[in-house]
């Protein structure tokens, strides 16, 4: 989305010597120009025009290294093209020390924008298992990175206190490529049994209690603007789900008259992986293009193909890496009990169905 910047210039009338202006050709970055000066063309323009970031105290500004950039002179105009484009919302200061001393403060203002907000949190149900491993926070706009764990907190409504460090806090943060979806992992050390953090602190979520996930509205989007408002998700915690996914138990119905194939999964599955790791193939093994819809809090998967169904055989294919929110996979629970020797192997599962 192209955002048109509105430029704010400090007071510097054309009668002044020199005069400063910020210009930009369409599609190009902003360039600082200095005109109407009498200093002769110098080899060493950087000594006559210094551009720095303008925030902080006068002492900090005096100590600041000038910005990297290229200086060019043509017919009375000195141009400074910064190495990296002037950033929106940052205050800059141009200091001229040619025949006189002049300062020019400028910034490229952020236009008034629509603020980002949380649009959904998955799993969307309000009864979640004690060993839940992963949630997704969906935002309406690209968010900034680096601040997530200051902006998400888990509150235990039952015990009336915040849960200490319930999440896996990674500096790198797990975002989708467009930075609109944040993956929140609960600390696996407090979920996996017989692992030290769980032994010491216990699980973050406890069955029988109620919790609220709180998103702080101060979380900034990629343009530095805070959210329109905060977000709460309150949920009750139920017993741990340690069941592997078994697509052989799924109920396949349809396609109905509207052309929708419906699959009842028996329990909520991972909202993201259901988009990628379950698909329909036709009788010659070609993947069918179409739209996937999730309902009943991600426990029903529906498919509407782009091309109408033909009479004949189809296959519902389930990649073994499909997970539920607790990390249980196809034929492989999150924690495989090694003392049991009869665990089936995790494999891609195919359910055949016929369209009549």
Partner 1 sequence: MAFGPDGVLFVGDPASATIFAIATGDTKPTGKDDVKVEKITEQIGSMIGVPAAQVTINDMKVNPASGNVYLAVTRGKAMDAAVLIVRLTRDGKLAELPMKDVVFSSVVLLNATDKQRMETITSLGFASGKLIVAGLSNEEFASTLRSIDYPFVEANKGAGVKIFHGAHGKFETQAPVRTFTTYKVDGKEQILAAYTCTPLVTIPVEDLKAGAKVTGTTIAELGNRNRPLDIIVYKKDGKDFVLMANNARGIMKISADQFSKAESITARPKGDTAGVKFETVAEWKGVLQLDKLDEGRALILVKADNGDMNVKSIAMP
List the interface residues with partner 1, window 87-106 (CB under 8 A).
87-88, 90, 92
Tell me if 222 sits within 8 A of 143, measured CB to CB. Answer: yes
Q: Which of 44, 74, 171, 257 binds partner 1 (CB under 8 A)?
A: 171
Binding mask 241-270 for partner 1 (x = CB under 8 A): -----------------------------x
Out of 126, 169, 229, 291, the only residue in the binding site for partner 1 (CB under 8 A) is: 169
CB atoms inside a 10 Å sphere around CB 161: 9
275, 292 contact by CB (below 8 A): yes
How far apart are CB 274 and partner 1 at their closest, in Å?
Answer: 10
Judged by beta carbon, residue 16 or residue 335, the one nearer partner 1 is 335
Kindly state the number of chain residues that form the binding site for partner 1, as judged by CB under 8 A.
73
Q: Look at residues 120, 231, 215 and name the one whose alpha carbon lies nearest to residue 167.
A: 215
* Residue 263, token pair as written in the block: 């699959």
Q: Is 159 a residue that touches partner 1 (CB under 8 A)?
A: no
Which range in 39-47, 175-183, 252-260, 285-293 contacts partner 1 by CB under 8 A?
175-183
Of 65, 66, 69, nearest in space to 82 by CA? 69
Name residues contacting partner 1, limited to 43-62 (CB under 8 A). Answer: 51-53, 55-56, 60
Stretch that binds partner 1, among 8-16, 154-162, 182-190, 247-255 (CB under 8 A): 182-190
CA distance 267 to 109: 49
Q: Which residues are CB-contacts of 32 (< 8 A; sequence separation ≥ 6)?
A: 20, 21, 22, 51, 79, 80, 82, 94, 106
Can residue 151 be called a binding residue for partner 1 (CB under 8 A)? no
Of 107, 131, 144, 302, the residue at the interface with partner 1 (CB under 8 A) is: 144
Among 181, 233, 269, 331, binds partner 1 (CB under 8 A): 181
- By CB under 8 A, tell whether 335 contacts partner 1: yes
165 binds partner 1 (CB under 8 A): yes
Residues in the chain: 356
CA 239, CA 30: separation in Å to the nearest integer?
58
Strand arrangement, sheet containing 251-253: 251-253, 261-264, 300-305, 290-295
Tell me which residue of 221, 215, 247 sits closest to 233, measured CA to CA.
215
Interatomic CA distance for residues 140 and 117, integer angstroms: 6
Candidate residues 21, 64, 117, 153; the one interacting with partner 1 per rule CB under 8 A: 64
Which residue, 146 or 312, has its beta carbon nearer to partner 1?
A: 146
Tell me, residue by residue from 183 to 202, as one string, x for binding to partner 1 by CB under 8 A and - for no binding.
x-x-xxxx-xxxxxx-xxx-
Q: Which residue bears the tokens 């369409």?
A: 26
Which listed residue (145, 153, 267, 351) binds partner 1 by CB under 8 A?
Answer: 145
170 binds partner 1 (CB under 8 A): yes
Query: Could you tell me the smallest distance in angstroms from the CB atom of residue 168 to partner 1?
Result: 6
- The dihedral built from the CA positions of residue 18, 22, 24 and 28, taken in this order, carries a sign that is positive
- Comparison of 102 and 190: residue with beta carbon closer to partner 1: 190
Considering the rule CB under 8 A, would residue 130 count as an interface residue with partner 1? no
């Amino acid at each position: 989305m192209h955002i048109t910047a509105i430029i704010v210039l400090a007071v510097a009338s054309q009668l002044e010597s020199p005069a400063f202006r910020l210009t930009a050709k369409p599609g190009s970055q902003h360039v600082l120009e200095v005109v109407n000066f009498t200093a002769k063309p110098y080899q060493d323009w950087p000594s006559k025009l210094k551009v720095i970031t303008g925030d902080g105290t006068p002492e900090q500004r005096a100590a600041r290294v000038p910005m990297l950039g290229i200086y060019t002179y043509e017919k009375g105009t000195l141009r400074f093209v910064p190495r990296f484009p002037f950033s929106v919302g940052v205050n800059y200061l141009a200091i001229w020390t040619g025949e006189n001393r002049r300062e020019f403060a400028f910034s490229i203002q952020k236009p008034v924008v629509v603020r980002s907000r949380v649009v959904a949190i998955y799993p969307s149900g309000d009864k979640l298992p004690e060993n839940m491993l992963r949630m997704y926070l969906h935002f309406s706009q690209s968010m900034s990175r680096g601040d997530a764990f200051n902006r998400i907190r888990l509150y235990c409504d039952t015990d009336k206190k915040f849960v200490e460090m319930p999440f896996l806090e990674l500096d790198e943060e797990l975002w989708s490529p467009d930075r609109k979806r944040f993956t929140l992992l609960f600390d696996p050390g407090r979920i996996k049994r017989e692992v030290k953090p769980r032994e010491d602190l216990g699980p973050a979520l406890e069955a029988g209690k109620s919790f609220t996930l709180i998103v702080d509205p101060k979380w900034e989007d990629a343009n530095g603007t805070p959210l329109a408002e905060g977000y709460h998700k309150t949920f009750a915690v139920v017993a741990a789900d340690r069941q592997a996914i078994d697509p052989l138990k799924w109920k396949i119905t349809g396609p109905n008259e509207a052309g929708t194939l419906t699959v009842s999964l028996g329990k909520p599955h991972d909202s993201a992986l259901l988009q990628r790791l379950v698909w329909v193939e036709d009788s010659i093994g070609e993947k069918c293009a179409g739209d996937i819809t999730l309902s009943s809090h991600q426990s029903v998967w529906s498919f509407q193909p782009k091309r109408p169904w033909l009479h004949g055989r189809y296959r519902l294919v389930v990649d073994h890496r499909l997970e539920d929110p607790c990390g249980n996979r196809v034929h492989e629970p999150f924690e495989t009990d090694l003392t049991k020797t009869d665990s089936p192997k995790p494999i891609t599962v195919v359910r055949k169905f016929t369209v009549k």
